[in-house]
Structure 1
Amino acid sequence: MVMDMAAAFPTTFSQNKTHQMFSQSGLSFSPPKPIKFQLPICNPHARNSMQVQVPSSATNFGFKNLLETFMVEVYKAENRPLDVPLISPFTIATSRLDKVENVAIRIELKNGCVGWGEAPILPFVTAEDQPTAMAKAKEACEMLKSCSFITLGAVLGEICHLLPGHQFASVRAGVEMALIDAAAKSIGVPLWRLFGGASNTITTDITIPIVSPAEAAALASKYREQGFETLKLKVGKNLKADIEVLKAIRTAHPDCSFILDANEGYRPEEAIEVLEKLHEMGVTPVLFEQPVHRDDWEGLGRVSHFAKSKYGVSVAADESSRNLADVKKIVQGELADVVNIKLAKVGVLGALEIIDLARASGLDLMIGGMVETRLAMGFAGHLAAGLGCFKFIDLDTPLLLSEDPVLEGYEGLGAAYKFTNAAGHGSYLHWENVPWPLMVCCLEAYEPLNWWKHSVIKMF
């Protein structure tokens, strides 16, 4: 019970605050007042204070109260490369990926709880490459080790200051995931409850990358047998080839719903032509994602208005929504119907802020990812299930990997993910099996690796 956990950590929670945070159903109450966090004393050269934007929606009350009340003391923090092969190359309009080259982050608190995060790297989409992400994650780990006994909100504020904007968003997201996971474990609460408790399940689409018509048909047939009802098709490199692939998929999986994702690959007139060709085939996609270049705001608006007025098709902004300012521009100009939330683009706190703006403005929401393992996908899935406000779920990338290094976590059956009552996001790595990098962010790196195994097993 949460109350028992509060009693076990008297320096962290009062029973009254814990009672305010969680009801028996896991749902939240009225929203708290806006929170202003002070920078921790571990950075004496920083500004005297900084604002951390905290969402105002009632659904996040448990999480917001955790930001105010949970006191963080980091015992160890380190990062390592997380390299995992793909079943086959993952090709989109702007890049090709042959294997996952992400960064895993492990943060252990002095109370013994361990949090896990992942910084995903996708060339031409995330700003960081793996060496940059490793170096910045190392900086963050060193900063966390030096910080004093401060609130979770203040620690996350310092992380935002160290890893600002889109430039380091992926690393920031990975560190935020690990800290929030460790805090949730400390109070014995699964993330889907912490974020609102709307549901403990989600249903995802699955992606078909840019391949030949025959390969696309084979994948569509396989996914049909596995129970996937929505296929997300990568397009945007060759208009004629895209149409042929769509025909092949429609033959192999005639009842599926389509999401088209151009990853900025079309000019506005090409995007409009795709919709016209599909209409002639009797096919109406449920969503058209990022049809034009991220900076072509006029083209995005033009395609969105045409798609909606002519065919009733919603257009989603993905690469065009890299921060809160981008989403405000989309809202003000009515440039898209849907915003795709990816933690690697904006971080966890940034995502919650954008979610609140989108909901208040009447935009629909999609949640997606780069190419991650079940560490990052599990965290995003908990967020989506707990909030319950996403119309489109695109959290399929672990299904594209040829290996799964992640233990425990959500239960997957085809397109359906079920989140258990395990504290935090419930998944972890066997840290001794993750290769050591050349630069390790851990002040106690000399300790035997078997200690890490004992520490992880002890937690689960």
Structure 2
Amino acid sequence: MHQFPDTPPIHPAKIQAFVYRAPIEEPVRTSFGVMHDRPAVLVRIEDHDGAHGWGEIWCNFPGVGAEHRARMLESCVAPILQERQWAHPAEAFETLSRRLEVLAIQTGEPGTVAQAIAGADLALWDLAARRLGQPLWRMFGGTPRISTYASGLSPSEPQRLAAAKHAEGYRAFKLKVGFGEERDVLNLRALREQFGPDTALMIDANQAWDEAAAAHMSRRLAKYGPIWLEEPLRADSSLEQWRRLAQASPLPLAAGENLRGDAQFDAVISSGSLAVIQPDPGKWGGFSGCLPVARRAIAAQRMFCPHWLGGGVGLVAAMQLKASVGHPGYVEVDSNPNPLRDLFAGPLLRPDEGVVTLPDAPGLGIEPDLAAARGFLVPHNYH
């Protein structure tokens, strides 16, 4: 625990999952699937003394998976957390990860198990920081100001959505690519012409290409100056493939949302193939796993930019994670309509010239308005 601040012990008395699903008019498209609604699974952990904290479990795909993740939290994670008092959130994270390893193998669901643990870890840290009366960014030794970018610009008229996000205060933008060579080129060129040479643009292929296509597209898109190319290959491609692509690509490579565990992150950091490291704190690690990864990435002179695409609680957690370590980099804010992001993250969605300043309120700095989201609540019937 030497790399974390001391916290009061926690003995969880009540652990709840809340499943929400918000309809959207325009589906969100990626290279591998379409989101027809926006789900969120919130985690609330209450201690025996009445203190509580909030987290969020990644649950975007498949759309029917939100209820399953909530049940995994309540049936597998919660009983272990309620067994005893924990000296520290990181102790709970390490124990959960170890004790659920065999279950993850047996079920063939290591990702789902890791996501449930991650959401619980976020809630434990929120609880611990609330107890201390400190915002997480301060408790971890950071500063409250972070740079953001508007992500998820779809292949259909991305410049229209980018213009709307610019009006809201965003000054960096990420385009989805992987929808055909000419379409990708035209979209990126349109954004570059729209914003001029000095605006930070990123591109995300969502694992769409093989090695040859990725190298080719990197060369074609480089003339428009994106600062990184995200997930051009499948996340499970070999380190050698990533190294070869990094050598062939004129664009810096970014990935991490689909990596899981210290060994995988250490391997990609040490390989030198990724210029940008992007763990998702609701998908693996929470703060206990992702904060050490962030520090190791920064020590290796990589840019650290946490990934998030979901509801507002996880978005604020990603912001707190980035603020905790400082250094150049960005937090992504999805551009597409999502009432569960807007209801829970609220004022933090309006940056000033691309910069968000986190509040001084303890923990995550927000309290989700469950009453306002009641219309989106769906039963998951574990008990």
Shared fold, TM over 0.5: yes
* Counterpart pick for 1:304 among 246, 250, 253: 246
- Once residues 424 and 290 of structure 1 are traced to their aligned partners in structure 2, the CA distance between those partners, rounded to angstroms, is 31
Cα-to-partner distance string for 1:72-102 (whole Å, 9 max, x where unaligned)? 1323221120223446322111121122222
Cα-to-partner distance string for 1:295-329 (whole Å, 9 max, x where unaligned)? 2233322221122xxx4x31112356333222232
Supply the AA of the counterpart residue of 2:138: R
- Please name the residue that 2:135 is paired with: 190
1:28-427 alignment runs, 5 A limit: 35=1, 56=3, 60=4, 62=5, 65-66=6-7, 70-86=8-24, 88-123=26-61, 129-140=65-76, 142-143=78-79, 146-153=82-89, 154-164=91-101, 166-197=111-142, 199-212=143-156, 215-255=157-197, 256-279=199-222, 282-297=223-238, 298-307=240-249, 311=250, 313-318=251-256, 321-348=259-286, 349-369=288-308, 371-389=309-327, 391-397=328-334, 400-402=337-339, 404-406=342-344, 410=348, 412-413=350-351, 415-427=354-366
Offset, 1:409: 7.2
Offset, 1:178: 1.1
CA distance change for structure 1 residues 99 and 392 in 2, over 3 Å: closer, same or farther?
farther
Offset, 1:222: 2.2
- % same residue: 21
CA distance change for structure 1 residues 300 and 400 in 2, over 3 Å: closer, same or farther?
farther
Supply the AA of the counterpart residue of 1:134: A
Larger deviation, residues 341-350 vs 173-182: 341-350
| Structure 2: tracts of 5 or more residues without a match | 102-109
- Once residues 398 and 406 of structure 1 are traced to their aligned partners in structure 2, the CA distance between those partners, rounded to angstroms, is 15
Alignment length (residue pairs): 366
- Once residues 162 and 82 of structure 1 are traced to their aligned partners in structure 2, the CA distance between those partners, rounded to angstroms, is 29
- Once residues 179 and 226 of structure 1 are traced to their aligned partners in structure 2, the CA distance between those partners, rounded to angstroms, is 32
Offset, 1:208: 3.7
- Once residues 79 and 264 of structure 1 are traced to their aligned partners in structure 2, the CA distance between those partners, rounded to angstroms, is 30
Supply the AA of the counterpart residue of 1:82: Y
Which protein has greater RCO, CA pairs closer than 8 Å, 6+ apart? 2
* Partners of 1:217 and 1:252 within 8 A in 2: yes
* Partners of 1:119 and 1:171 within 8 A in 2: yes
* Partners of 1:259 and 1:287 within 8 A in 2: yes
Supply the AA of the counterpart residue of 2:58: P
* Partners of 2:153 and 2:162 within 8 A in 1: no
- Once residues 269 and 76 of structure 1 are traced to their aligned partners in structure 2, the CA distance between those partners, rounded to angstroms, is 51
- Once residues 226 and 285 of structure 2 are traced to their aligned partners in structure 1, the CA distance between those partners, rounded to angstroms, is 29
Structure number with bigger Rg = 1
Question: Does the residue aligned with 1:189 lie in a helix, a strand or coil?
Answer: coil
Offset, 1:385: 0.8
Question: Does the residue aligned with 1:147 lie in a helix, a strand or coil?
Answer: coil
Offset, 1:224: 3.0
- Once residues 202 and 306 of structure 2 are traced to their aligned partners in structure 1, the CA distance between those partners, rounded to angstroms, is 13
- Please name the residue that 1:38 is paired with: none
Cα-to-partner distance string for 1:208-248 (whole Å, 9 max, x where unaligned)? 43322xx2121222233333221111111312211121122
Offset, 1:364: 2.6
* Partners of 2:201 and 2:225 within 8 A in 1: yes
* Partners of 2:137 and 2:321 within 8 A in 1: yes
- Once residues 225 and 398 of structure 1 are traced to their aligned partners in structure 2, the CA distance between those partners, rounded to angstroms, is 12
Question: Does the residue aligned with 1:82 lie in a helix, a strand or coil?
Answer: strand
| Structure 1: tracts of 5 or more residues without a match | 1-34, 36-53, 442-460
Supply the AA of the counterpart residue of 2:305: M
- Please name the residue that 1:448 is paired with: none
Larger deviation, residues 221-230 vs 108-117: 221-230
1:417-456 alignment runs, 5 A limit: 417-431=356-370, 434=374, 435=377, 437-439=379-381
Supply the AA of the counterpart residue of 1:192: W
Query: How big is the alpha-carbon RMSD for the aligned residues of Structure 1 and Structure 2?
Result: 2.7
Offset, 1:140: 4.9
CA distance change for structure 1 residues 139 and 113 in 2, over 3 Å: closer, same or farther?
same
Supply the AA of the counterpart residue of 2:85: F
* Partners of 2:320 and 2:364 within 8 A in 1: yes
What's the TM-score once normalised by structure 2's chain length?
0.85
Supply the AA of the counterpart residue of 1:421: D
- Once residues 170 and 369 of structure 2 are traced to their aligned partners in structure 1, the CA distance between those partners, rounded to angstroms, is 31
